[in-house]
């Protein structure tokens, strides 16, 4: 079995400090402050699909961590015409296991 600390993937985290801190706080509340210090938004916390594409599955009955992203709608020329928030569900590396081949 793969140890939890070995599970890392490449995510598309955009670098928002507010989102980082929000997810870190949820990890601390759910697991521990020590575990929250291990949180790395670029490699050990991802969406369901990102975990799937990387060969992992989210274990049954796991509850997601919540975050928000800003979606930009662009016109045909590429100019941003609207921005709106979208809620996303993230899963931490302790909530996933490798898929069986």
Q: What pLDDT score was predicted for residue 92? A: 96
CA distance 17 to 40: 12
With 80 as the cut, is the pLDDT of residue 19 above it? yes
Query: Of 14 and 2, which is predicted with more confidence?
Result: 14
Backbone angles phi, psi at 20, to 5 degrees: -55, -50
Q: In total, how many domains does the chain have?
A: 1
Domain of residue 12, residue span: 4-98
The model's pTM is: 0.81
Residues 6+ apart with CB under 8 A from 99: 55, 56, 57
């Amino acid at each position: 079995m793969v140890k939890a600390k070995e599970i890392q993937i490449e995510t598309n985290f955009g670098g928002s400090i507010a989102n980082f801190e929000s997810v870190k706080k949820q990890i601390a509340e759910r697991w521990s402050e020590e575990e929250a210090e291990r949180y790395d938004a670029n490699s050990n916390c991802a969406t369901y699909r990102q975990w799937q594409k990387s060969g992992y599955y989210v274990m049954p009955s796991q509850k997601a961590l919540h975050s928000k992203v800003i979606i930009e709608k662009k016109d045909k020329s590429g100019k941003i015409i609207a921005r709106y928030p979208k809620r996303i569900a993230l899963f931490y590396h302790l909530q996933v296991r490798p898929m069986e081949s």
